[in-house]
Structure formats: structure tokens, C-alpha cells
């Protein structure tokens, strides 16, 4: 699996990380003050419904919620970036 980083931005309000692994693309938002995490797998459902992703209290909860190794790799890379 090769991780391709699309965007990696640190702002005062948090960290935005967007990447792709193979055909799977997604983004991770980590709030600076709250530590809350938003993860969005940019798949067909996301494109149709325009949802903002799933929200978690910690990065560990986000890791546990996703089964695919591609999304786990994106979340791990966001944590380490």
C-alpha cells in the first residue's frame, strides 16, 4: 500500500489531513482544543449525500470504527503528521 498525501495543513483550530491509498481517498480533521476527530471516506455515498464524515472523541475510536486497512493507514498517517 502506497500512501499519497494530498493535503496536510495545520491551523490554530486544528489539523486537516487528506490522503489516498490505492482507490480509497479520505480526510481526517483533528481539533486542536477539543481533540475531536472527523473522518470522511470519500466514496460514492459521500459524493451522493454530501455528508461531513463520522465524528469521534479520540483517534483510537476512529481507528476502531474502520475495517479497511486503507482507511486505517490514512488515519494513522494523519495522527503522525
Please report the pLDDT score of residue 49 as a whole number: 73
pLDDT along the chain (81 residues), means of 10: 93 96 94 93 77 90 95 95 87
Q: What DSSP string describes 6-69?
A: EEEEEETTEEEEEEEETTEEEEEEEETTT--EEEEE-SHHHHHH----EEESSHHHHHHH---H
Please report the pLDDT score of residue 56 as a whole number: 96
Domain residue limits at 67: 3-80
Please report the pLDDT score of residue 28 as a whole number: 96
Q: Domain total for the chain?
A: 1
Please report the pLDDT score of residue 69 as a whole number: 95
Contact partners, residue 50, CB within 8 Å, separation at least 6: none
Amino acid at each position: 500500500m502506497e500512501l499519497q498525501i494530498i493535503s496536510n495543513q495545520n491551523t490554530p483550530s486544528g489539523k486537516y489531513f487528506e490522503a489516498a491509498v490505492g482507490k480509497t481517498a479520505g480526510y481526517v480533521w483533528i481539533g486542536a482544543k477539543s481533540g475531536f476527530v472527523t473522518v470522511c471516506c470519500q466514496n460514492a455515498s459521500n459524493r451522493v449525500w454530501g455528508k461531513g464524515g463520522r465524528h469521534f472523541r479520540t483517534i483510537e475510536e476512529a481507528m476502531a470504527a474502520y475495517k479497511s486497512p486503507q482507511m486505517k493507514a490514512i488515519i494513522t498517517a494523519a495522527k503522525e503528521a
